[in-house]
Structure 1
Amino acid sequence: MDKLNVHFHVSVLTVPHFVTADQFPEWLQREALAIQELSEDNGLTIVRLFLAARIREVWPKKKLDGLLQGITDKYPHIFRVEMVVIDDTLDFDEIELIQSDAEDELAQVLETVKQFQELKVARSKLH
């Protein structure tokens, strides 16, 4: 069985209240670069971006989608960017809880994939 030697991680980002809509792209690029630089060679990161509604309202959907796609195109260790629009910034405890829940969710998905692979191998040995 081919095993991928890839480690998935989830990073939670929330835009600080002092970042304006005009500063948002530069802020996001800096955060993405930091994630990229901290990644292991075999690591892929899913970024969960909690975006303040005040910024989302300024950015047209097409431009925002282009910015997020540009992040995954530019930084090979960022597998995907998921965006959730929120009314205000998150505090540290909320970020920790979201991070923990995301890591648990990811672990469950990876366990399901592992079980599927094992079942596939077992079935192939029967035939």
Structure 2
Amino acid sequence: MTPTSRFRLVPMRPRDPAEPARTASTLELFFDLVFAAAGAFSVGIEVEIDVLTGDSELHAPWSSFAFSIPLAVFLLGVWAVAIRCNAERTVRTVLPLARLLVPIDPLLPVPFGLIAVVLMLTVAVLVWRQPVDRPMHRPVNA
């Protein structure tokens, strides 16, 4: 076997629309939502910068929702996929609480004020509390 034949690239082909069981799983759709929220967050930051510099027709409370809602969805995704199963009770409580507090930020007169404090406290808790070692699979007949 030559090195070139071992790493032969095969072009991707589109999936057949008539393929049986051609559906996306709930996990795939959830990952799509989380990655879309991460992209929407950066766009929301751009919208907020345009509002602060006067280059946008949006007004302050509505433009702040453009980054706070995607950030809340992203926090939910990170909590659900990566942290929920490997964290103790404090961390499992702080992240959903942060997700609920982030969308309140647009209602305050200081842009990014509440979000900065909430994310700072969330990171502090994540650093302070260590992950919990849990077995990946529980015994069936235990």
Taking structure 2 as the reference length, what is the TM-score of the superposition?
Answer: 0.25
Structure with the higher strand share, 1 or 2: 1
User: Greater relative contact order: 1 or 2 (C-alpha under 8 angstroms, separation 6 or more)?
Assistant: 1
Taking structure 1 as the reference length, what is the TM-score of the superposition?
Answer: 0.27
